[in-house]
Amino acid sequence: MTHTHIRADVPETRPVALHAADKRAPGRRGAGRRVLASLQRARKALLIHIGLRAVGLAVMAVWARREGVGPLEVLGGRWDSDFYLHMAEHGLTTEMPASCGPVGPGCQMAFFPVYPLLVRWTVNLTHLPVNWAAIGVALLASVIAAWGIFAVTDKIYGRRVALFTCALFAIVPAALVQSMAYTEPVFIALSAWAMYAVLTKSWLTAGVLAFLAGATRPSGSAIVAAVVLAGVWEIVQWRRRRRVQRPPVGRILAASLIAPLGWFGYVGYVGLHFGRWDGYFELQDRWGSKYDGGIDTLRSLKKTFTDTHLTLNHVVVTLTVVAAVVLFVMITRKRRPPVVVWIFTAMIMLVALGGAGFYYSKMRFVMPAFPLLFPFALALARARRTTVLWVVGAATAVSALFGGNLNFVWWANP
């Protein structure tokens, strides 16, 4: 078997077919044609991603049958899914006392509204049961997210590295969440395409997508900060004469104003509902979630080495946290990605690891930081085919089995 050599740091030349299309249609190609070309370029990566996710879902379905549980209940009827389905059916402010427990009235307002609204609109359009609609939205969003991850990585490193990043994202430890009625698939899809919009200088599109992502989950502040600071950086670089062409300052400023409105708008709405400016943060505190700069995370890491009664989940979370930190240092020091991608990754790390409480969910909180997979993808892009098959095959099996463990052995929210 021969060794495959590539230049992973140089994006590949676009296919000849695309150049021919450019000649046939002088000037800017239509939006529809660009979308189809992008989808065609990502097709192989998306098929691999879907295939790897199908393995995880198949293992979950077999495990569910042995436990006497329906797969739909696992994907769309547990933990946070209850709150999203309630919000989709009854609105943002309708109480759900049976599930709120000690958190108190209005507990569901700790969850951001974009995903429940998408589920409600899907129900109104298709007349599907709400849990089917919730799972359908999540599955579609997960494919769009994988497509966005491919597009961003392709723009930075080229097609081959993008393919491996897309494949690896399908088998991260908490990958099953990508197929559940959770906000992560929608959030990652919006964030990835917002970053791609910045990379392609489509500032208004980036601002709108960041606006929506900011209203999707609390960590939406990461993509908001990434888009705004990337715009500021673009202007600063031009003022320092490090950019030959003047950036579109007006569009950058407009994007910077639009992007924060989703996150701040919902936090402000919750504050108005509770009659206090910090109502959202007080609600999060009642949930046992607050920001302490990582002190609680460090305590939980310490337990890995001092507690004699550890669960598999705790060990895997600790390994994920440590690996995330190491990988972030690697992409920062060796081959830092474009500023919007780096800031997004840094912010996800700050939010996920700096928050107190829910240590067992850190894998899911870190998952949107897909650029952390770049070092692995670059290594696989240079590896022999047999090495790739063994590594990806083993990782797929472990991910699928761990996903089953999270839902049928582990006792809490994944």
330-388 pLDDT, tens digit per residue, is: 999 988 899 999 999 999 999 999 999 899 999 999 999 999 999 999 999 999 999 99
Task: Quick: pLDDT tens for 197-250.
Answer: 999 999 999 999 999 999 999 999 999 999 999 999 999 988 887 777 888 999
Which of 150, 157, 156 lies closest to 8, judged by CA? Answer: 157
- pTM of the predicted model as reported, rounded to 2 decimal places: 0.91
- CA dist 217 → 140, 194, 211, 240 (Å): 18, 15, 11, 36
List of long-range contacts for 15-23, beta carbons under 8 Å, 24+ apart: 15/41
Question: Helix or strand or coil: residue 356?
Answer: strand
How far is residue 19 CA from its own chain's centroid?
32
Backbone angles phi, psi at 181, to 5 degrees: -75, 65
Residue 359, token pair as written in the block: 């240590």
Residue 10's pLDDT band, with cuts at 50, 70 and 90, is very low
pLDDT digits (tens, 9 = 90+) for 127-154: 999 999 999 999 999 999 999 999 999 9
pLDDT higher than 90, residue 18: no
Helices H / strands E in the chain, number of each: 20, 2
Digit-coded pLDDT (tens) for 86-140: 999 999 888 886 667 778 888 999 999 999 999 999 999 999 999 999 999 999 9
